[in-house]
Amino acid sequence: MGGVKMFEALGIVPEVYHMNEGHSAFLSLERIHRNMEEHKLTFRAALQVVAASNVFTTHTPVAAGNDAFSPNMMRKYFSGYCERAGISFDEFYSIGQATQNPEPDFSMTILALRTSRHANGVSKLHGEVSQKMWQTVWAGVPANEVPISSVTNGIHTKTWLAPEFSKMFTKYLGADWEDHLTDCDYWGRTANIPSEELWNTHQQLKGRLVDFARERVVAQRKRNGETPDQLRKVSHMLERDILTIGFARRFATYKRATLLFADEDRLYKLLNHPERPVQFIFAGKAHPADEGGKAFIQKVIEFTRKHGFEDRITFIEDYDAYIGRRLYQGVDLWLNNPLRPLEASGTSGMKLPPNGGINLSILDGWWCEGYNEKNGWAIGSEILDGDPEFQNKVDSTSLYQLLENQIVPLYYTKPDGNIPTAWIQVMKESMRTVTPVYNTERMVSEYNERFYEPAAAARKKLSVDDCAPATELSEWKDSMRSQWHQVRIDDVTVDVSDRFHIPVGETAKVTAKVHIGTIKPEDVRVEAYYGETDDRDIISPQLTELQCVDGPDHHGVFTFSGGLTPADSGSFGLSVRVIPTSPLLTQAHEIRKITWSN
């Protein structure tokens, strides 16, 4: 999706734009030019207005999902724009590059980040990964302060919910259950659903899925000109009473659709256990240019024809939303095993719990937040920097162990001989904890409160008096950039009786001598940056603003001072930093200037 205009956000201002892909930042350039013409602004002044009202959602840490173009390409298509905007091509080109160790190409994602004062990832983990990934855009700023937050994705529940479950919710949760979609306490009522009724409804939907899968495979094989004998074999494919696991999504290589096939012997035993067999249904498409993804599909299809596997592994072609609904509503378990941390959010697994399904997933994307150790299973460890071969080995081993030792036994354990009581408890816990949180109602509300309202307010602040504050901010930034080379921290002292042993709760006085040259003291913020150290970095840092208490002396040095009170014991580190500040700024670090003590 490109730029989405939020009309009259809370009645404040008419223009808040939400960019959901990096390339949609091109819309920002058009908005800047329009503001220049309408308000007679410079490019930099118009940029302040536009950026203040832009919200950018970055969607993937995968390199292929972050477009970048060569200087020649950009010059060919944007020299005319630069001329109209009154800026040099080099100045324009720098907007698409990092401030530290810039790559030669023009990055669409960096363009979006630099023309937006509000940015987010699509899960908590993805927000943290994005902060580290784009830290060079804010050179010198700690990763945890890079202004990229997160709003975890959600699904439109009614779109993916089986009508049978909608009726069940009305019966046991209340006729107004849709009005309580985001009320976690309300969803505790899932305990009222009789286990036998829940199980029978789910089994009914699974039977429908099995029939559907057979029909689609017959149609596929007829289209391929297969013999009547080959077509008859489809009737033996899949069974209604077998543990059924689904995997359906875009076949990008990092999603590792073939991880399941890492150990063919173990897989064969899982599929063909005489008392506790398992079956898998695959669906999905690969990007036409993704040869690796297409190879994964080929491998899955090979297993659907391999002796001993053909009745237990199925691939449904031409994946679309209709096929997706059949799968989400009918499988027992949803498999998701991407290469961590490349799954920014993932939403397929969110569609299972409202339909009684359970997740088996890598701790990546939304599942890091959704998993509570009782509502599904987590594959492997929370690996962030292991090489792919190592991760594949660890995760495939974990996948098999979970299936063999926990999941399959739990599914087939039926104390009364009719229903798997413990499995149904996991179904209910999944439904109770996932459904009220991972939905679009919560997601849009969160965007509105945390991003659209602040963006609307920021634009309003810079737009008054024919955008005079935007011009003022632009000129102030130019002044800061031209003078910032004067800023340095000459000395930092800590006034305590014993700097190596500061008792918890005792206040330590920190004093910094700061040279700011011709910059006014009110235009800088001096901060003590401190916290527990791990011998290299300060972890869980805290900030305390130091106040100007003296100066300037005859060298132009000001004295800033403040008190720090450690709340915990341990080895602490301390640094002092200076950043430019103005009441017109939307982001603390939007000017991208920062000076640290040695």
Contact between 44 and 29 under an 8 Å Cβ cutoff? The reply is: no
Shared domain for 257 and 361, answered yes or no, is: yes
CA distances from 497 to 283, 500, 506, 560, 562 (A): 68, 9, 10, 20, 16
Mean pLDDT of 495-523: 82
Cα 197 to the center of its chain, rounded Å:
36
Contact between 402 and 362 under an 8 Å Cβ cutoff? The reply is: no
CA distances from 321 to 279, 306, 324, 422 (A): 22, 28, 5, 31
Shared domain for 125 and 266, answered yes or no, is: no
CATH of the domain at 7: 3.40.50.2000
Which of the four pLDDT bands, split at 50, 70 and 90, describes residue 116?
very high
CA-CA distance, 170 to 517, in Å (whole number)? 69
The answer to whether residue 54 is domain-embedded is yes
Look at 237 and 157; give whichever has higher pLDDT. Answer: 157
pLDDT reported for residue 540: 83
What are the tens digits of pLDDT across the range 341-378? Answer: 999 999 999 999 999 999 999 999 999 999 999 999 99
Shared domain for 337 and 353, answered yes or no, is: yes
Which of the four pLDDT bands, split at 50, 70 and 90, describes residue 13?
very low
pLDDT reported for residue 228: 86
| HSE (side-chain half, CA atoms, 13 Å) at 408 | 20
Mean pLDDT of 291-318: 94
Shared domain for 87 and 110, answered yes or no, is: yes
Domain boundary pick from 374, 406, 437: 437
Shared domain for 364 and 499, answered yes or no, is: no
Mean pLDDT of 544-566: 91
Pick from 278, 267, 196: which is nearest to 242 by CA?
A: 278
Shared domain for 209 and 149, answered yes or no, is: no
pLDDT reported for residue 500: 55
Shared domain for 180 and 322, answered yes or no, is: yes
Look at 531 and 56; give whichever has higher pLDDT. Answer: 56
CA-CA distance, 159 to 166, in Å (whole number)? 11
- How confident is the prediction for the chain on average, in pLDDT? 92
The answer to whether residue 353 is domain-embedded is yes
| Rounded (5°) CA angle 43-44-49 | 95
CA-CA distance, 262 to 250, in Å (whole number)? 20
Shared domain for 143 and 161, answered yes or no, is: no
CA distances from 488 to 494, 512, 517, 542, 561 (A): 18, 10, 9, 22, 16
Cα 163 to the center of its chain, rounded Å:
30
Mean pLDDT of 489-514: 80
Q: How many domains does the chain have?
A: 3
Coil, helix or strand for 66? coil
The answer to whether residue 540 is domain-embedded is yes
Which of the four pLDDT bands, split at 50, 70 and 90, describes residue 196?
very high
> What's the predicted TM-score (pTM) here?
0.92
Shared domain for 82 and 212, answered yes or no, is: no
Q: Determine the structural domain holding residue 576 and report its residue range.
A: 487-596
- Is residue 9 scored above 50 in pLDDT? no
CA-CA distance, 512 to 493, in Å (whole number)? 7
Contact between 313 and 335 under an 8 Å Cβ cutoff? The reply is: no
Residue tagged 């039926």 (tokens): 414
The answer to whether residue 511 is domain-embedded is yes
Mean pLDDT of 238-261: 95
Pick from 519, 467, 592: which is nearest to 99 by CA?
A: 592
Domain boundary pick from 457, 477, 497: 477
Mean pLDDT of 302-318: 94
* DSSP secondary structure letter of residue 315: E
Contact between 491 and 553 under an 8 Å Cβ cutoff? The reply is: no
Tokens for 474, please give them: 């632009």
The answer to whether residue 482 is domain-embedded is no
- Is residue 10 scored above 50 in pLDDT? no
Shared domain for 196 and 218, answered yes or no, is: yes
Residue tagged 């008054």 (tokens): 464
Shared domain for 263 and 384, answered yes or no, is: yes
Domain boundary pick from 437, 467, 500: 437
Shared domain for 261 and 348, answered yes or no, is: yes
- Is residue 115 scored above 90 in pLDDT? yes
Q: Count the residues in the chain.
A: 598
- Is residue 32 scored above 60 in pLDDT? yes
